[in-house]
A and B are shown apart, each in its own frame.
Chain A
Amino acid sequence: MSSAAQPISRTENLAWKIAPPSGWFELDLPEVWRYRELLYFFVWRDLKVRYKQTAIGVVWVVLQPLLAMLVFTLFFGRLAKMPSEGLPYPVFYYTALLPWLYFAASLTLATNTVVENERVITKVYFPRVILPFSAVLSGLVDFGIGFLLLMCMMFYYHLVPTVATLLVPVFLMLAVLTALAVGLWLSALNAVYRDVRYVIPFLVQFWLFASPVAYPSTLVPERWRWLYGLNPIAGVVEGFRWAITGQGQPPGRLVLVSALSVLAIFVGGVIFFQKMENRVADTL
């Protein structure tokens, strides 16, 4: 009890202004930065809880992409004989499944995050964007484990990293941003309309086939490829596969269009999320 009586020093010269909601875009990045520790704790809690609740824990994290890879290799590869740009089918599918599964899992996590934390939201302030952000970040751990497995596969198939591999972090960041952009929309939508989360499994399923996971994007006619790029995750998946394996043409235009699409979705997502944020504490 001794520390309570110490006089305080105003080292942190904070002052905040409270005003009615105004303007379209009020994302206060310095503030989000000030709350980085809470962001860390949200991610930390998510991970702790997730790995405690699943009995097989880490095994599941490894098993999920592996099984998906096996199914894809068997059906799309061996049976349907999809072109794989000269890559062994397991590598071809696994390199795409890794970012895709990260994206799909992040969407599901992000969608529920605002509603799941409604108790906290109505009792304590923090920048609400931290919630979808933490959902998207906590998925990265699974991604990391999956990535280690990928390295093993590369070694097994004698695939040597190329210069393009240096771009992997860039595509990873793009993947995070994509998941965050879509996650902002879905978490806000789900906070307002409670039935959104039932739509997510279908959304994810359709989205999978609209993305170059089971097939290379070169299957899409050249003319329409820019349109195909509007699918924000298309650029990420294709770019990731290219950066890892270094095979084929760099998907420059596709990635560029996807990146622009991500940016638009992100800005729209922030605006929409803020509109939700302003009323959510009153309606939850």
Chain B
Amino acid sequence: MSDTAIRIEGISKQYSRGKREKYLALRDVLTEALRFPRRIFQKKREPEAGEENEYFWALDDVSLEVKQGDIVGLIGRNGAGKTTLLKILTRITRPTRGRARVVGRVGSLLEVGTGFHPELTGRENVFFYGSILGMRKREIEAKFDEIVDFSGTEGFLDTPLKHYSTGMQSRLAFSVAAHLEPEVLLVDEVLAVGDLEFQRKCLGRMEKTAQGGRTVILVSHQLNQIRRLCKKVVWLDQGKIRMAGPPLEVAGAYEAALLAREDGGRVLPSGAVAKVRGLYWELEEEKPGNPHVLKSVGPVTAKFSVEINKPLNMVHAGLSLHSPENQLLWGTAHNIDSLKPGVYEFVYRLDSIPLKPGAYRWRLCIFDENSILEYWDCSPDMLIDVEPLGHLDEQWAGILNFPSEFALYDESRKQPDTRIVRGRIWTTVRFR
């Protein structure tokens, strides 16, 4: 048997705009038919070029191959076609064109708690929901205690679901879902809904899932989660695959594109002719690449080009780095004697920028003896696209990112047992 779990060949899906909200009424159709009897026999027209805007392609010629045991991340903006692709792979809806082949038992999690019924008890809902997700009755019976244990709702098993709190309901639903063990698992952004505690549990299970040779396709907006979990990332943009490849690369490019869309822009001080103007900025690393993307935790040089239009005295240059939330993360300042008009390059050598992956903004401020001359929010943002080195669970990883080592000393034997912590911590230490 080949090791391809999912093969997608030129899948396209067309939707008609606005049809979603409109329910047809038989009454209207019949009245229509009585008024214009001839129309019934006329063939429905195919959409013509002029009517294109009535229809749109949610997916447009997407091809993809997923190997058995891979975890593939699907990213893209809302409406890029991620959910549509999942719906086609799960067979909830069918493609307009193209074909696909999925090998193995498929489980999908597009929503948690589908089919929960308020009148049924917790126990009954576990069985029905498990069955909806594709679990066998025997399987549910075997895992029942584990599921209940995981959810922490033991005392309420024979209470109708309508008496559960929302939190309890979702914990119960999540627990059933977490025990789903198909060969191919298709997950839509459901993890984002649960509480952090549960997300951690789920991610742990998912990682194990892939270690067991299972294939996972995961839709997520949490790019660091994607970076951490996935072996491959596919970026969908307006129904097409814009990029597919290693997670760091694709997630980075996606993030860069997201930022380019926003206009970071320069803020000129109110004044007729600027005495100082920021031109552009770039990074220089050992390995050349995108000048606005930081690829390593190692030494880096940041250069800022500035045009000076008038002679300046007692110049003072401040550089700061800001988080996406505009929190000041780091800053420095230098005094410069005087500058003649011309283009200058401000060069900063940094040992490392140990921040977790994401988008950051440089701000360069130039002052002279009198006042602030230029307050430049450098555009585009700097993208840090490095491997996360901290805790595997993002909520514990913090905002800094640097390698660390972990050693365990046995006092009696005085022999170190060194392990690199950047390994998969969950395989050695279990949190519950």
Contact = CB atoms under 8 A, between A and B. Distances in A.
A49 B115 CA distance: 13
A219 interface: no
Contact of A5 (B24, B90, B110, B208): B208
A124 B131 CA distance: 11
Given A125-B92, A195-B27, A120 B100 contact: no
A196 B111 CA distance: 29
A37 interface: yes
Contact of A282 (B29, B93, B110, B209): B93
Interface in B106-152: 106, 108, 110-111, 114-115, 117, 119-120, 124, 127-128, 131-134, 136-137, 143, 146
Given A20-B97, A38-B131, A193-B26, A5 B212 contact: yes
A196 B27 CA distance: 9
B211 A18 contact: no
B79 to A, nearest CB: 15
Interface residues of B, number: 61
B95 interface: yes
Contacts of B90: 124-125
Interface in B70-105: 87-105
A41 B131 contact: yes
A194 B25 contact: yes
B56 interface: no
A6 B209 CA distance: 9
Q: How large is the interface on A (under 10, 10 to 19, 20 to 34, 35 or more residues)?
A: 35 or more
A17 B214 contact: no
B132 A120 contact: yes
A117 B117 CA distance: 11
B406 interface: no
A53 B93 contact: no
A66 to B, nearest CB: 27
Given A4-B209, A189-B26, A122 B92 contact: yes
Interface stretch (A7-15, A55-63, A135-143, A203-211): A7-15
The residue in A1, A10, A18, A41 that gathers the most chain B C-beta atoms within 10 A of its C-beta is A18
Contacts of A283: 19-20, 23
B136 A3 contact: no
A30 to B, nearest CB: 15
Interface in A266-284: 278, 281-283
Contacts of A17: 99-101
B26 A16 contact: no
Nearest to A195: B25
Contacts of B110: 123-124
Contacts of A223: none
B181 A194 contact: no
Interface in A195-231: 195-196, 199
Contact of A15 (B23, B87, B102, B128): B102
B117 A281 contact: no
A4 B208 contact: yes
B114 A14 contact: no
A164 interface: no
Contacts of B119: 48-49, 52-53
A4 B212 CA distance: 7
A15 B101 contact: yes
Interface string A237-259: 00000000000000000000000
Nearest to B432: A1
Given A38-B131, A124-B90, A193 B137 contact: no
A19 interface: yes
B100 A18 contact: yes
A21 interface: yes
B213 A18 contact: no
B124 A48 contact: yes
B89 A18 contact: yes
Given A4-B209, A7-B213, A19-B95, A194 B101 contact: no
Contacts of B19: 282-283
Interface of A: 1, 3-8, 10, 12, 14-21, 37-38, 40-41, 44-45, 48-49, 52-53, 117, 119-126, 189, 192-196, 199, 278, 281-283
Given A45-B120, A119-B114, 10 more contacts: A10-B1, A14-B105, A15-B102, A15-B104, A20-B96, A38-B132, A41-B127, A41-B132, A45-B128, A282-B20
27 contacts: A5-B212, A8-B213, A10-B183, A14-B103, A14-B105, A15-B101, A16-B101, A17-B101, A18-B91, A18-B94, A21-B94, A38-B131, A41-B128, A41-B132, A120-B132, A124-B108, A124-B114, A124-B132, A193-B27, A194-B23, A195-B25, A281-B87, A281-B93, A282-B93, A283-B19, A283-B20, A283-B23
Interface of B: 1, 11, 15, 19-20, 23-27, 29, 87-106, 108, 110-111, 114-115, 117, 119-120, 124, 127-128, 131-134, 136-137, 143, 146, 181, 183, 204-205, 208-209, 211-214, 430
